[in-house]
Amino acid sequence: MHNYSVIIPHHNIPALLQRCLDSIPSHEDMQVIVVDDNSSPQAVDFEHFPGLDRSDVEVILDKQGGGAGHARNVGLERADGKWLLFADADDFFAPGFYETISSFVDSESDLILFMADSVDSDTGEPSDRHLVLNENVRRALAGRMTERQASLEMPTPWCRMVRRSLVMERGIRYDEIPVSNDTMFAVKTTCWARRVEVSPRVLYVVTTRRGSLWDGNARDPRNFLCRMDVYIRRNRFYKDFPYAEKKAMLLYLVDASHFGTSTVLRTLWMLVRSGMLFSGWETLIKVVKQHLLHGNIDEKTDDV
């Protein structure tokens, strides 16, 4: 049994996967699991697949093509670490990664949330994908919000270390869907954790990359509707946790309008059918007050 299991889904970007693996130092208490999600032989040389030259890396070639959520679940079944960490293949860990996580190996918390940096994957120029996460961590450290609230405000798979026993005892798994497959995993581990801790140390470097899943999904109305189903389930789950701020579901109609009338109507129907049309009205009132004070409602409604 290891202290840490790092799970990395991969699809068709072997050079970036190699960069990610290079950021993980070899240690006897570290298990690294790469799950290849049915990559194309035109994109990947399977005889020289990244990680095959390392004894601490286990490569699983999964031919189902079930997406990142499925790949992470495959990795979970093979993980034996006391702590779980997740990375995307096109990101990488920050310098001092092992020293950072090893300082929490005996923590009594079930979840530790860290800070991040972000860069353009090709140029290395600074990006802004980490700013919301880091601001929430700072607010939690300053006592302006709780550690759980900081974790819920940006429910990503990265920048967090989760106790494996919590995941296994609660049967928590990733949604096997095209987008937002990580949201409910992060939400459930946060809400069901006995204790959540935040750290001011930078653990991870998240990248922006043209043509990435993160970059491309935002333009597809089908993916928007898939996200809507996740957001509805998230608000419903939050009913049992008073500290979790429900999102203002009505505001998602603003986002739906970017995809045309058909998507607006389908979004409206999803909200009405689920009984969640007015869910998060308290948050909506807060957003309107902020609008009156500051002049604009942020169009990034996933944060409200």
Q: Could you list the beta-strand ranges (E) of 87-210.
A: 92-93, 111-120, 160-163, 196-208
pLDDT for position 303: 46
As given in the structure block, the two tokens for residue 150 are 């900081």
Tell the burial category of 47 from Cβ atoms under 10 Å away from its Cβ (0-12, 13-18, 19+): exposed
The pLDDT profile of the chain, 304 residues, written as one tens digit per residue, is 899 999 999 999 999 999 999 999 999 999 999 999 999 999 999 999 999 999 999 999 999 999 999 999 999 999 999 999 999 999 999 999 999 999 999 999 999 999 999 999 999 999 999 999 999 999 999 999 999 999 999 999 999 999 999 999 999 999 999 999 999 999 999 999 999 999 999 999 999 987 665 555 567 899 999 999 999 999 999 999 999 999 999 989 999 999 999 999 999 999 999 999 999 988 777 767 766 776 554 444 444 4
Q: Which domains does the chain have, with CATH numbers?
A: 4-210 (3.90.550.10), 221-303 (no CATH)
The Cα–Cα gap between 199 and 204 comes to: 12
pLDDT for position 299: 42
Q: What distances in angstroms separate CA 134 from CA 105, 176, 204, 280, one per listed residue? A: 22, 28, 11, 24
pLDDT for position 44: 97
Q: What distances in angstroms separate CA 191 from CA 55, 155, 188, 288, 303, one per listed residue? A: 35, 11, 5, 27, 18
Residue type, 211: G
Helix, strand, coil percentages (3-state) for the chain, rounded to 5, are: 45, 20, 40
Q: Judge if pTM exceeds 0.85.
A: yes
